[in-house]
Structure 1
Amino acid sequence: MASSQRLSPTFRFAPGTTDLDPQSRSSVSRLARAIEQGEFDGQTLVFVGFSDGDGNAATNLRLSRGRAETVRTAIIEAASAADLNRLQLRVGAFGEAMPMACDDTDWGRAVNRRVEVWLE
């Protein structure tokens, strides 16, 4: 990801789920509109999932990949007017690696349960 640029939306999830929170659903709409307007034509968007540190590493990796897939699918569904052949939409997952906050608090774990969007 070293040569990639992180976009501003971050998508959040409830513990142990792949369900987007309400604010994340509005971020889906904004990103879908940008895709429909051709802002990312010829580029690749990578949806990268993360988990908090609760549970074992293999489960967290699967959960983080599921979260990335959830966001990718939501974007595809919301960008119904887009020509998705003009860009690539990929997923990646890091599980509990690379936390943004300390996992010792509810707030920190909530911050770590996320999907970031990177532009390649």
Structure 2
Amino acid sequence: MDSDRVKGAAKEALGKVEGAFGQATGDAEREASGNVREAEGIVQNTIGQAKDAVRDAAGSAVNATRTIYQEGTGAVAANVQERPGSALLVAGIIGFALGVIFTKGSRPAPRRPWDRYSRA
């Protein structure tokens, strides 16, 4: 549980008490202050809940990835051992594609010798 949830819940409770006290005594300023504190507590509690949800989702993703990797590693190794030529071909294609993607735009296109005469 995130500390923002605890702090938010405490702030919300104190805000309710302060607002009720201000309403009971007729002190509008204290009542407004309590309402503001209560709203701050609600927001802080919601932020804490969101943080917890993100942590849980990240943990689930890591566990799922680890499981898929552990289960898939054996299958990939078996396929590579059965068909090494195909594995090399796929690796070469992937390497070529990555080379094209990462070097595209790093060098200008070569100029043809006659280009300098045809442009004004």
TM-score, normalised with respect to structure 2: 0.27
For the pair shown, the structure with the greater C-alpha radius of gyration is 2
Higher relative contact order (CA 8 A, sep 6+): 1
TM-score, normalised with respect to structure 1: 0.27
| Structure with greater proportional strand content | 1
